[in-house]
Amino acid sequence: MEVRLSNQLPDYPSFIAGIRRAPDRGYSLTPAQTETALKNALRYIPEELHETLAPEFMEELLTRGRIYGYRYRPQGDLKAKPIDQYKGNCLEGKAFQVMIDNNLCFDIALYPYELVTYGETGQVCQNWMQYRLIKQYLEILTNEQTLVIESGHPLGLFRSRPDAPRVIITNSMMVGMFDNQKDWHVAAQMGVANYGQMTAGGWMYIGPQGIVHGTFNTLLNAGRKKLGIPQDQDLRGHLFVSSGLGGMSGAQPKAAVIAGAASIIAEVDSSRIETRHSQGWVQYVTADKAEAFRMAQEAMQAKEPISVAYHGNIVDLLEYAEAQSVRIDLLSDQTSCHAVYEGGYCPAGISFAERTELLSHDQDKFCSLVDASLRRHFEVIRKLVGRGTYFFDYGNSFMKAIYDAGVTEISRNGVDEKDGFIWPSYVEDIMGPELFDYGYGPFRWVCLSGKHEDLVKTDHAAMDCIDPTRRGQDLDNYNWIRDAEKNRLVVGTQARILYQDAEGRLNIALRFNRMVRDGEVGPIMLGRDHHDVSGTDSPFRETSNIYDGSNVMADMAVQCFAGNAARGMSLVALHNGGGVGIGKAINGGFGMVLDGSGRVDEILRSAMIWDVMGGVARRSWARNANALSTSAAFNEKYDGGYHITLPFIPKEDLIQHIVRTSLKHKS
């Protein structure tokens, strides 16, 4: 067995006009580092091709800031095919090929030619040589081997066993003293670091649908908590404003319409607007601020939902709203601020084309404009909040970017960012206490047959597993899956997102595996967003409602990854960065192929509960009230097989008295 690229030089692929291209990421290597980067890329290439490809790779590095190996990209659109059209020695090997191609197809990927799935920089792997080798490995992978992927590089196949993971992935796991954006940028240029985001490098992205249920939950619960909307009503008559129509942010207008709101989403890139408009994820498009608010106001008066894409900068839109005294009920932002200086945030005052030009030719000026725009953005939000708008950070590192731009008054403690910021993260205020602390999170599945009828059958089966009378969250989730087909959520292959707690996920997974066993549907890939109860440690997002000081610790995400590997999930992934940037989060996820076997049933019974309850246990230990009650009920129900350590809670007046008295004596 030999896995290597052919010594036949592939034809250089053509690039289809109108397909988005990543901007120049910037070249900043020393001559010695440049030599290493070139050698690193050429080690994938048979020696007889080095003289031909070395100049090509060097040109890519100088003009794109990366070596993508464009020559090795397959021609055309990499749409996911039905699983039986892929080569493979095991079902998992074929299933992962479906998922990779789905991540890179034109309908889904943000920059498909640069292997970027979403989030401005989130890649499946670093270059097309890695892609080709990974595909080769997956075609020969057996159920007694594990493929190891390190920052996009396929390290090799290693013997394991059928109940071990078939693929283990890590991305950009940098050593602490080098775990920062500057050193990561050098490593990425040298071809040794891949920014996996979350489900891009974990091969589990399912298009904007992957976040739409979470956005729906966030908006609906924000309305209930902040606007006084009853449990049985929606956001009709209320206005939501945000920005971003990319891979994840593109879910905002669809989620707002499903929640009943009037929404205006600003986006500077016309191609992203066109993508979401043509896919039916946003209803109307305008470059006129007054018209955008007029359409929204008319819909609000009629108590009808509407989504409007405003082609322009969010700062300009908000400054107009503030000047015209337009009331905005709910306000957020979903620009890619984890990559704020890499093009993820377009400064006010310049066009998207000018942004791309500055990234290539004057990065210092671009960074200065970003900082100035963030300061303006902060000021207008502060004015709107003062008038009654509820603003929440959507976990995109927006407030951290403002802080880093020199706006220290956004810090909650007035000293640093450790205690968060003056406005809440959506997890801190809404998703954490209302969903994560109970164990509800973004469960998802893909029907690998590619048949829409399989997806419809799984929707009905999942709905049958939900008791809508148990909690308000269950009623919301029941209604969501009931209406999923009507809401036309699929982009790419046949996939679904559904928030569920630990038992809900297990029950649905076992039901699906039985359906596969009985021949009702083809094989299914289970997974979840890394943005989940247990999957991510991120003090500015997933763990922002952890107040015991452990919000800066990454033990939970690492333990979740290790536990899923030990229990035999088909694929396990662990990444640095995610939606908030390098050094600001550790996140992990899984993929589980359902083949109908009893072996899979046993893995599900062990792994699905662990994957969720490890995070609930950590949140309970942090004294989160809903996690405490959930953990106590779990201990009672599963007595003998599981037990979560529960904290004792001291009285507040005792703690305050001891601290005040002791510090007074010390001084």
Give buried/exposed letters for 148-180 (b at 16+ CB in 10 A, else e): bbbbbbbeebeebeeebbbbbbbbbebeeeebe
Question: What pLDDT is attached to residue 248?
Answer: 76
Rounded (5°) CA angle 541-119-69: 140
How much of the chain exceeds pLDDT 70, in percent? 100
Question: How much is the average pLDDT of 395-418?
Answer: 91
> Has residue 162 got a pLDDT over 90?
yes
The two three-digit tokens of residue 426, written as one number: 């959506």
Q: Residue 308 to residues 250, 278, 297: CA-CA distances in angstroms?
A: 12, 13, 11
The string of DSSP letters for 190-258 reads TT-----TTTTTTT--BTBHHHHHHHHHHHHHHHHHHS---TT---TT-EEEEE--STTTTHHHHHHHH
Question: What pLDDT is attached to residue 665?
Answer: 86
Residue 314 CA to residue 72 CA, distance in Å, equals 38
DSSP-derived 3-state class of residue 1 = coil
Question: What pLDDT is attached to residue 173?
Answer: 98
Q: Tell me whether residue 30 is exposed, middle or buried, using C-beta atoms within 10 angstroms of its C-beta: 0 to 12, 13 to 18, 19 or more.
A: exposed
- In this structure, what are the phi and psi dihedrals at residue 119, rounded to the nearest 5 degrees? 70, 30
Residue 242 CA to residue 251 CA, distance in Å, equals 11
Rounded (5°) CA angle 152-610-546: 85
Residue 595 CA to residue 488 CA, distance in Å, equals 27
Token pair 């890499």 in the structure block, residue? 342
Q: Tell me whether residue 516 is exposed, middle or buried, using C-beta atoms within 10 angstroms of its C-beta: 0 to 12, 13 to 18, 19 or more.
A: buried
269 touches 280 (CB < 8 A):
no
Provide the Cα torsion 120, 126, 129, 135; round to 10°: -80
Q: Which residue type sits at 496?
A: R
Q: Which of 400, 410, 265, 419 is nearest to 330 (CA)?
A: 265
Q: For the chain, state the CA radius of gyration.
A: 24
Element (H, E) at 399: helix 398-404
Question: How much is the average pLDDT of 628-656?
Answer: 97
Token pair 């989620």 in the structure block, residue? 255
Model's pTM, two decimal places? 0.93
Work out the pLDDT band at 397, boundaries 50, 70, 90. Answer: confident
Residue 589 CA to residue 564 CA, distance in Å, equals 9
Question: How much is the average pLDDT of 114-132?
Answer: 97
Q: Residue 21 to residues 24, 64, 186, 195: CA-CA distances in angstroms?
A: 9, 10, 21, 17
Question: What pLDDT is attached to residue 554?
Answer: 97
Work out the pLDDT band at 419, boundaries 50, 70, 90. Answer: confident
Domains in the chain, please, with CATH? 31-189 (3.40.1770.10), 209-425 (3.40.50.10730), 435-637 (3.40.1770.10)
Provide the Cα torsion 407, 413, 418, 420; round to 10°: -70
Q: Residue 393 to residues 41, 243, 500, 580: CA-CA distances in angstroms?
A: 39, 12, 23, 11
Question: How much is the average pLDDT of 448-462?
Answer: 98
Strand ranges for 521-640 from DSSP E: 524-528, 536-537, 571-576, 586-594
Question: What pLDDT is attached to residue 246?
Answer: 87
How big is the chain, counted in residues?
Answer: 667
Residue 619 CA to residue 606 CA, distance in Å, equals 21
Rounded (5°) CA angle 607-595-600: 25
Sheet hosting strand 390-391, strand order edge to edge: 284-286, 306-311, 262-267, 239-243, 330-331, 390-391
615 touches 534 (CB < 8 A):
yes
Question: What pLDDT is attached to residue 159?
Answer: 98
The two three-digit tokens of residue 167, written as one number: 């693929």
> Has residue 442 got a pLDDT over 80?
yes
The two three-digit tokens of residue 59, written as one number: 């040109």
614 touches 537 (CB < 8 A):
no
Residue 8 CA to residue 384 CA, distance in Å, equals 61
Question: What pLDDT is attached to residue 572?
Answer: 98
The string of DSSP letters for 437-504 reads GGT-EEEEEEETT--HHHHHHHHHHHHHT--TTS-HHHHHHHHHHHTTTTTT---SSSEEEEEE-HHH
Question: What pLDDT is attached to residue 234?
Answer: 95
Q: Tell me whether residue 406 is exposed, middle or buried, using C-beta atoms within 10 angstroms of its C-beta: 0 to 12, 13 to 18, 19 or more.
A: exposed
The two three-digit tokens of residue 341, written as one number: 């200086």
Q: How many alpha carbons lie under 13 Å from residue 584 in its C-beta half-sphere?
A: 27
Question: What pLDDT is attached to residue 309?
Answer: 98
* pLDDT tens per residue across span 269-307: 999 999 999 999 999 999 999 999 999 999 999 999 999
